[in-house]
Structure 1
Amino acid sequence: MIELVSESRCIKCNICVTACPTNVFDKVPNAPPKIARQSDCQTCYLCELYCPVDALFVAPQADESVAVNEDMLVQSGLLGTYRQRLGWGRGRTSAAQAEQSAKFFKYSP
């Protein structure tokens, strides 16, 4: 479930608002988006994935909200982890490029 929009990292691009399939966020003029309908979050991670500055945190608990602390998320390296593991973002290697399982299957056109 979406738990955090970092006010210090957010660049107010509202990409998360657009990416969210369940309309969890509300745009706020000259401010980071507001988590307006947290219970509608499906824990799909799309907002976190598309955030260009790793300003969002989606907790894996889909059915309940959990308390989070931004400083602890940053110190533990969890803020932006989802994008990093998938290789999204400048200077990151795509997880698809590292995927090796295709070598086990024959492909014949």
Structure 2
Amino acid sequence: MIEILLEDQCVECNLCVKVCPTNVFERRDGKAPEIARQDDCQTCYMCELYCPVKALYVAPNADEVMGITEKDLNETDLIGSYRSSIGWEKGQKSTAKQDLAYKFYLK
């Protein structure tokens, strides 16, 4: 579930608003988007993936808010960690070749 949007890091690009399939975010003029409908989050990670400045953290538990704070994120380096783990950072090589799930669909 979406846990945190770091307003001081947000560049107000509103990509999170655009890519969220369940309309969790609310666009605000001149400000960072607001997490307006947190309970609607389906933990798809799209907002975290598309955020160009690592201003979002989506916790892996889709059923409840974990209560993670900005301080926790700074101490554990969790902010944007999903984006990094799948190779979406600048300069990273794609990890798609490591995903062998495609073998299930070969005929």
1:101 deviation in Å? 4.3
* Structure 2, unpaired ranges of 5+: none
Aligned residues: 105
Please give the per-residue CA displacement for 1:53-95, whole angstroms capped at 9, x wherever unaligned.
1110111111111211112212211101100011112122221
How is 1:24-103 mapped onto 2 (pairs within 5 angstroms)? 24-97=24-97, 99=98, 101=100
Identity of matched residues, %: 51
CA distance in 1, matches of 2:28, 2:44: 23
Name the SS for the 1:47 alignment partner: helix
Aligned to 1:14: 14
How large is the Cα RMSD of the aligned pairs?
Answer: 2.1
Opposite residue 12 of structure 1, the aligned amino acid is E
**What SS class does the counterpart of residue 11 from structure 1 fall into?**
coil
Q: Which moved more, 1:60-69 or 1:9-18?
A: 60-69
CA distance, structure 1, for counterparts of residue 99 and residue 58 of structure 2? 28
Greater strand content: 1
Whole-angstrom distance in 2 between the partners of 1:100 and 1:43: 20
State TM-score, norm by structure 1.
Answer: 0.86
Which contiguous aligned blocks of 4+ residues in structure 1 show a shift greater than 6 angstroms? none
Structure 1 stretches lacking a partner, 5+ long: none
